[in-house]
Amino acid sequence: MNEDRATSAGTPARADAALGFGVIAIGRNEGERLRLCLASAFGAAERVIYVDSGSTDGSVELARKLGADVVNLDLRRPFTAARARNAGWQRLLESAPTVEAIQFVDGDCEIVAGWLERAAAELAANEKLAVVCGRRRERFPGASVYNRLCDMEWNLPSGDIGFCGGDAMMRVAALKQVGGYNPSLIAGEAEPSQK
């Protein structure tokens, strides 16, 4: 999702979305990438929450300056993306209990313009959907072998899939039903069901 655009904090004007939604961005020492991420988030969502995992580069101050509600994770417990996402959605529901969907995004990613409204509309149109995700793209796939491999790995087929990455919009009811993310996983945040 290095090309994607996200949504807003506080009480900005909401886009005409089918479901009320908020955005949770997570990160650590993201610098300019966080600025791009949060900028892509403001405007359509009811709230934007930034969850920080011990940044020392001014990320927390930047997020606050941009208008995001900030959650600082306790440094005494190990950081995981799942732990950060859980802290974020719990804060979001405390401050905006009527949201029906949550867009999760990594702090080094941006949300493509129009994605939030499209994702919310897809969830509203099909009550059986719990999660919708888009095609995550590497901003500079030719910059390194690693960038190229990531871009290839993220090239999942369109349509029904059994799992998705961390950058996705989830229905709040489904997230509550499963108890959120598994905080003991270092990466992956969730375990796909076995078929």
Assess contact for 79 and 67: CB atoms under 8 A: no
* Sites in the chain below the pLDDT cut of 50: 1-17, 191-195
Phi, psi of 84 (to 5 degrees): -65, -45
97: which residues sit within 8 A by CB, 6+ positions away?
A: none
Tell me, what's the pLDDT at 9?
Answer: 34
Tell me, what's the pLDDT at 183?
Answer: 80
Hey, what domains does the chain have and what are their CATH numbers?
Answer: 21-133+163-177 (3.90.550.10)
Give SS3 for 84: helix
Q: Say how many C-beta atoms besides its own lie within 10 A of residue 164's C-beta.
A: 17
- How far is 26 from 15, CA to CA, in rounded Å? 23
Tell me, what's the pLDDT at 163?
Answer: 76
Assess contact for 31 and 4: CB atoms under 8 A: no
Predicted confidence (pLDDT) per residue in 23-47, tens digit? 999 999 999 999 999 999 998 888 9
Tally of CA atoms within 13 A in the half-sphere of 104 that contains its CB: 28
Tell me, what's the pLDDT at 190?
Answer: 52
Tell me, what's the pLDDT at 18?
Answer: 59
